[in-house]
Amino acid sequence: MKTRFYKISTFLLALLVLFSTTSFTVQKHFCGTFLVDASVFGKAESCSLHAQKPLSPTIESLEEGCCNEEKSTVEGQDELQLPLNILDLDEQVFLVSYLFSFGQFFQGKKRQVVPFKNYCPPLLVYDIQLRNQIFLI
C-alpha cells in the first residue's frame, strides 16, 4: 500500500513539473458572439464568411467587424530551483542556532519494539499430563 502511494505521488509530481514548465497558446475565433474554432497549439480556422467574396461593398463593410480572434498565451516556468541566497547571513545563523538548541523537541518518539511479536511457540512433543500421570477424576 505504501509503495503504491509512493509510486502514484511520484508520477503525479513528475506530471506537475512537466506541465508547469510547458508553455502553450490558446487561439479562439469568434464570429459575432459564437465560438467557431479553438486551437491549443496551432492556428484557429476562420469562419466561412472570410472565404466568400462579398457581393457588394456595403456587405463587406458590415461583415468586417463581426469576426474577431482572441489569443491567450500561458508561459511556462523557466527556473524550477529557488536561489540559495534567499536568507541573509544573520537569518541563516539564527536558523542554525535555533535548530541546534530546540531540535530535540522536534524529534519523533521511538518505536516500541515488541520482541515476541513474530514468535511461534514450539510444537508439543509429548503430553505432559500423561508423562506426569496427573488425571482429573
The 3-state secondary structure of 45-72, one letter per residue: CCCHHHHCCCCCHHHHHHHCCCEEEEEE
Under a CB-based contact definition with an 8 Å cutoff, are residues 70 and 27 in contact? Answer: yes
Mean pLDDT of the chain: 80
Is residue 31 one of the residues assigned to a domain?
Answer: yes
What value does the mean pLDDT take over residues 26-38? 87
The domain tally of the chain equals: 1
Structure confidence at residue 130 (pLDDT): 85
Which phi and psi angles does 28 have, rounded to 5°?
Answer: -125, 140
State pTM to two decimals: 0.41
Is residue 81 one of the residues assigned to a domain?
Answer: no
Under a CB-based contact definition with an 8 Å cutoff, are residues 47 and 36 in contact? Answer: yes
The residue range of the domain holding 66 is 24-74
C-alpha–C-alpha distance, residues 21 and 80, integer Å: 8
Q: What is the per-residue pLDDT across 99-121, written as a single tens digit (0 to 9) for each?
A: 888 877 777 777 888 888 888 88
Q: What is the per-residue pLDDT across 69-91, written as a single tens digit (0 to 9) for each?
A: 888 888 887 776 666 677 888 88
Is residue 95 one of the residues assigned to a domain?
Answer: no
Question: Across the chain, where does the E strand assignment appear?
Answer: 24-31, 34-39, 67-74
Is residue 133 one of the residues assigned to a domain?
Answer: no
Is residue 48 one of the residues assigned to a domain?
Answer: yes
Say whether 125 sits in a helix, a strand or coil: coil
